[in-house]
């Protein structure tokens, strides 16, 4: 029997805030989530996509992409704990 671990998607709504607040909120969230969890950011700051690409690159997280819907950005990345 194979053990499986269900990965969780955690939603962080940063709508109405601008740089650097969305990334700061994500950094605070990182203290409470588990390795492998998917983080879904909801943002209205047009610079959030580039900010999170940089944040993921610097933090060693896997950036999963960004979908744009009118003025709302849905950004996803996979969290991983540093060794």
Q: Which residues are catalytic?
A: 19
> In whole angstroms, what is the distance from residue 67 CA to residue 65 CA?
7
Pairwise CA distance, residues 17 & 60, whole Å: 24
CB 64 within 8 Å of CB 38: yes
Helix orientation angle between 21-29 and 48-59, rounded to the nearest 10 degrees: 40
């Amino acid at each position: 029997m194979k053990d499986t671990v269900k990965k969780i998607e955690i939603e962080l709504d940063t709508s109405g805030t601008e740089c650097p607040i969305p990334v700061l909120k994500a950094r605070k969230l990182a203290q409470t989530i588990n390795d492998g969890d998917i983080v879904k950011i909801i943002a209205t700051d047009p610079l959030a996509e580039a900010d999170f690409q940089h944040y993921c690159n610097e933090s060693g997280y896997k950036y999963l992409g960004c979908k744009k819907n009118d003025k709302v950005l849905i950004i996803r990345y996979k969290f991983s704990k540093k060794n």
